[in-house]
Amino acid sequence: MRRIVAHRTKNLIASFSRRSLVFEHRFSSFPEPSSSGMSSTESTSPVTVETINPKVLKCEYAVRGEIVTQAQHLQQELQTKPGSHPFDEILYCNIGNPHSLGQQPITFFREVLALCDHPNILDRSETQGLFSADAIERAWQILDQIPGRATGAYSHSQGIKGLRDTIAAGIAARDGFPADPNDIFLTDGASPAVHMMMQLLISSETDGILCPIPQYPLYSASIALHGGTLVPYFLDEATGWGLEISELKKQLESAKSNGTAVRALVVINPGNPTGQVLAEDNQQEIVEFCKKEGLVLLADEVYQENIYVADKKFHSFKKVSRSMGYGEKDISLVSFQSVSKGYHGECGKRGGYMEVTGFRADVREQIYKVASVNLCSNISGQILASLVMNPPKVGDESFESFSAEKEGILSSLARRAKILGDAFNSLEGVTCNKAEGAMYLFPRLHLPQKAIEAAKAAKKAPDAFYAQRLLNATGIVVVPGSGFGQVPGTWHFRCTILPQEDKIPAVVSRLTAFHQEFMAEFHD
């Protein structure tokens, strides 16, 4: 599997260019044309798909793609016509959105957010009985750091200084190495930070970014939007989605020979959609590779709290590089973190940050300029990011309840990951690596030739064909592996482990029954 010939890599790059879910969705969501053949809006609009930015057409984001659009349509039908389908609810296993699937927010975090947003109640006597003492104290501390104590006001473009101090202290405590609050850029989740770095690094299509395959589609989408070239390196499914330095070297040399100037390496740890957790010695090899080749290391570390196996531990790339003796002058490193993942799962609060190290002062000024164009990230997200990096400590009133909530969520996720992984591996023609971390499983489908031919006749990738049939039969929403990239000739889908634990048996039974019927229908 590892010996992937050059034309396969070229085919994969071409497939990212050809597929355009944005284009598909635009048309799938259009109303039916009027009897005259064209609506007045269509006939008079100066904007057409031929005149918009072609980079937008090239961009795709499979996580919210065609199958999700269809699922939303089915959900509306279930509401207006109960009993119209062989299932009574849609189970969205397509995206890491924990609260939408019933996960409860962390009490301490929400108490502090509520008090900061409505500070007038801090002085009321009844507040003492409704909120924990440490949440009240933390809210006062945070409000004192905000000019005018106004969460509805703009902040510094990098984020509120006091909150960046707190985050830097949390990073230092995690890694055992100092962190500078001036290196922290608070953003509306990790995604804007990724876009910001792509905007900085990509100047033309000859600029390339090394990305893992499979990858989180944010990276292919942002590279496309900013006009660069995705340079794929393939993770090894046979070794638990291992990242081999020999593969990085091969793809780097291939890109150079094609005239592509590779600017950065993206590493997702823990992996999305693949769920692997990198070993520290592997991370050291990656750091050495980036240092030797002069590449910016873009470390997606948003699942750092989501580790489910006893023999693996999260190590930030900053910690690894500093423990190797490398400092600011040795390697350029950007670490991404988000409040959307972990045990907190606060996707809708849109909080996150990037820590930017190893860049010259004049380049840092340009990063700040780009950040300032967006004015600032939202204040609730900033506050939440500081809480994630500085949760209750031993001795605080909320510590025991906080710890119980955190451990309850993470242990449940670990159980769900195992149950679903075992279920996938029990199915005919399905193999699935263990989810060591993150929120997903990425099983491989070994489909009968008749199913592949049926998919071709339907003008769909085989895994998209399977996922659509799964949705129509069961109401379960998964994402075809073709949206993440995969070794050509292999087929997968991504499934989250996020449905609540009491719903997992229903997911397993529905999926098992569907798969058995599917394989029987298309048996060679």
What are 149-194's pLDDT values in tens digits? 888 888 888 899 999 999 999 999 999 999 999 999 999 888 999 9
Query: Given 3.30.43.10, 3.30.950.10, 3.40.640.10, 1.10.520.10, which CATH number is that of 193-298?
Result: 3.40.640.10
What are 314-334's pLDDT values in tens digits? 999 999 999 999 998 999 999
Cα 483 to Cα 3, 19, 167, 320, distances in angstroms: 22, 9, 34, 31
On the question of pLDDT at 10 being above 70, the answer is: no
Residue 100 confidence (pLDDT): 84
Query: Given 3.30.43.10, 3.40.50.920, 3.90.1150.10, 3.40.50.150, which CATH number is that of 1-89+400-524?
Result: 3.90.1150.10
What are 438-488's pLDDT values in tens digits? 999 999 999 999 999 999 999 999 999 999 999 999 999 999 998 898 999
Mean pLDDT for 209-221 is 92
Q: Is the peptide bond before 214 cis (omega within 30 degrees of 0)?
A: yes
Mean pLDDT for 79-84 is 84
Mean pLDDT for 5-30 is 41
Q: How confident is the model at residue 61 (pLDDT cuts 50, 70, 90)?
A: low
Residue 157 confidence (pLDDT): 83
> Apex CA 408: angle with CA 404 and CA 409, to 5°?
125
CA distance 280 to 400: 31
Residue 20 confidence (pLDDT): 37
- This prediction has a pTM of 0.86
CA distance 243 to 294: 19
Mean pLDDT for 227-253 is 93
What are 244-296's pLDDT values in tens digits? 999 999 999 999 999 999 999 999 999 999 999 999 999 999 999 999 999 99
Using the Cα atoms of residue 248, residue 249, residue 252 and residue 258 in order, give the sign of their dihedral.
Answer: negative
Residue 25 confidence (pLDDT): 37
Residue 17 confidence (pLDDT): 45
Q: How confident is the model at residue 3 (pLDDT cuts 50, 70, 90)?
A: very low
Among 65-79, 98-112, 127-141, 261-275, whose mean pLDDT is lowest? Answer: 65-79
What are 393-442's pLDDT values in tens digits? 999 999 999 999 999 999 999 999 999 999 999 999 999 999 999 999 99
Residues facing 356 on adjacent strands: 334
On the question of pLDDT at 13 being above 60, the answer is: no
Residues facing 482 on adjacent strands: none
Instruction: Check if 1-89+400-524 and 193-298 are the same fold.
Output: no
Per-residue b or e along 209-228, where b marks 16 or more CB atoms closer than 10 Å to that residue's CB: bbbbbbbbbbbbbbbbbbbb
Residue 348 confidence (pLDDT): 87
Contact 414, 441 (CB under 8 A): no
Mean pLDDT for 480-497 is 91
Q: How confident is the model at residue 497 (pLDDT cuts 50, 70, 90)?
A: very high
Structural domain spans, the chain:
1-89+400-524, 193-298
On the question of pLDDT at 77 being above 80, the answer is: yes
Average pLDDT score over the chain: 87
230 conformational bin, left if phi > 0, alpha if psi -120 to 50, beta if neither: beta
Q: In the chain, how many H helices and how many E strands? A: 20, 14
Q: How confident is the model at residue 523 (pLDDT cuts 50, 70, 90)?
A: confident
Residue 63 confidence (pLDDT): 55
% the chain with pLDDT above 70 = 90
Residue 38 confidence (pLDDT): 47
Residue 62 confidence (pLDDT): 57
DSSP string, 178-219: ---GGGEEEESSHHHHHHHHHHHH-SSTTEEEEEEES--HHH
Residue 60 confidence (pLDDT): 67
